[in-house]
A and B are shown apart, each in its own frame.
Chain A
Amino acid sequence: MEKRCLDSQVKGVSTGTTILAAVFDGGVVIGSDSRASIGGEYVSSKTINKVIQVHDRIFCCMAGSLADAQAVIKAAKFHLSFHSVQMESPPLVIAAASVLKELCYKNKEELQAGFMTAGWDRKKGPQVYVVSLGGMLISQPVTIGGSGSTYIYGYVDAKYKPNMSKDECLQFATNALALAMGRDNVSGGVAHLVVITETGVEHVVVPGDKLPKFHDE
């Protein structure tokens, strides 16, 4: 408890949060809740969007200190657009993830932010990458993060299957976010989801009252 209060004084607004990304057959779904809180006591924003677009088919979710995450993403967007112009082609998802990783790793003493990058590119299709707090980069078919994620590890392990259809994956993501928001007091609000495929990008927002309800609600 004390640790969290000190953190908020040092770091300001932090995203206690739940973020999630999953690969399905033909694309990825990336999503998050929408609550930003100060010290776990005051909700400073009920409708913040934590899914940020870094390029046409590449999106990012941030966890940790909101300030740090926004600063890193701003720098990453710049690097990525420059890279894309140099290459004369859309960047690979791994390029976006690597840019974030370099920033996180080189500045690991000062930063307290982790990222999830999801997107589609011509070379490898749909992919999800995770950059953790210290700057490790790994690729996973499904990944969850943020404070609310601890409550849904069991659900995600049990329910995620490779090669789901788009609708199954959307339902899975919505359910997972709803379950996490139901148990974590610093996650809440609406569920922001983005579906990325070869053909394009689709934003889905599920407001609080439309979220799936579970047995004790």
Chain B
Amino acid sequence: MAAAASMMPNFGQQISSKNDLVPDWTRQEVSTGTTIMAVEYDGGVVIGADSRTTTGAYIANRVTDKLTPIHDRIFCCRSVHPTLTLWADPVCRGAWPHLLCGGFRSGSAADTQAIADVVAYQLGFHSIELDEPPLVETAANLFRASCYRYREELMAGILVAGWDRRKGGQVYCVPIGGMLVRQPVSVGGSGSTYIYGFMDSNYKPGLSKDQCLELTAAALSLAMERDGSSGGVVRLASISEEGVERRVILGNQLPKFSTH
């Protein structure tokens, strides 16, 4: 029993820190515990994300924009591996010290930003060489190449979504480890676990753009209700041949569900 007890993170210790004058979040890494979602519809894609970035218990940015443009009609949504938000907690580090070795870094907002910058550069170059807009699949493959090559060092989960002339609206998922898979609808981030059931039951192939926007807004609101690392506003973007349409749903305008 004692062995089992010591394996569990001791949250009691976290609450009464030894040095109460210095808040614990000054020592935490920035993490985008988050909820991101992307849905394909006929003619484009809808992507959405929450807007909370945390350092430990402090919300460093409550209006983050996690929808990063990689090219004119290609966006990516970035998330950190869900368990990685635990690694920022010094108490949990103490519980599993054997899992921290030299090359292992806790993934953070920095990792995902760095990858996105690299891919945006590569894609821009590729597009100029081709003299036409790049394919979404190309962008997704560039992400996969970086994530797979550096899979030991990085811990980033990426959703790539966009529109191109060849295949229309597409969503690609590049989870931890560097796999690449196309899915009609995909969720990611720490808040995503809470909405798998909602997404499975509410998504059907053949939804219209407005239905996709509603579905994404509802799913993100539900996840934000339950996940402490997700919150703020809902940022949505719809990408189609016509271009990118962005919108923000503020906290008081989010869909409400019966609270119990």
Contact = CB atoms under 8 A, between A and B. Distances in A.
A141 B259 CA distance: 10
A105 interface: no
Contacts of A2: 96, 99
Nearest to B219: A154
A157 B257 contact: yes
Contacts of B99: 2
The size bracket of the interface on B is: 20 to 34
Interface stretch (B16-24, B109-117, B145-153, B190-198): B190-198
A3 interface: yes
B7 A179 contact: no
Contacts of B200: 179, 182-183, 214-216
Given A109-B1, A183-B196, A215-B200, A142 B260 contact: yes
A154 B198 contact: yes
Interface in B186-238: 193-201, 203-205, 218-219, 222-223, 225-226
A135 to B, nearest CB: 15
A175 B201 contact: yes
A3 B5 CA distance: 11
B258 interface: yes
Contacts of B222: 153-154, 157-158
A161 B204 CA distance: 23
Interface in A146-168: 150-162
A11 to B, nearest CB: 7
A48 B226 CA distance: 30
Contacts of B101: none
Nearest to B260: A141
B130 interface: no
A56 interface: no
The size bracket of the interface on A is: 20 to 34
A88 interface: no
Interface string B1-34: 1011101100000000000000000000000000
Given A142-B260, A154-B222, A158-B257, A10 B3 contact: yes
A71 interface: no
Contact of A7 (B4, B96, B194, B199): B4
A162 B260 contact: yes
Chain A residues touching B, majority SS: helix
B205 to A, nearest CB: 7
A21 B121 CA distance: 52
Contact of A215 (B4, B193, B204): B204
Nearest to A216: B200
Contacts of B199: 154
A84 to B, nearest CB: 30
A180 interface: yes
Given A162-B260, A215-B203, A151 B4 contact: no
B201 A179 contact: yes
Nearest to B255: A158
Contacts of A180: 197
Contact of B5 (A109, A142, A152, A155): A109
A152 B197 contact: yes
Contacts of A179: 196-197, 200-201
A16 B194 CA distance: 17
Most buried by B among A109, A140, A153, A215: A153
A183 B7 contact: no
Given A141-B260, A157-B225, A179-B201, A150 B193 contact: yes
Contacts of A214: 200-201
Nearest 6 Cβ contacts at the A-B interface: A154-B198, A152-B197, A155-B197, A179-B197, A154-B195, A154-B222
10 contacts: A3-B8, A7-B7, A109-B5, A110-B1, A112-B4, A151-B193, A155-B198, A159-B201, A183-B197, A216-B200
Given A154-B219, A155-B197, 5 more contacts: A109-B5, A154-B195, A162-B260, A179-B197, A183-B200
Interface of B: 1, 3-5, 7-8, 96, 99, 193-201, 203-205, 218-219, 222-223, 225-226, 257-258, 260
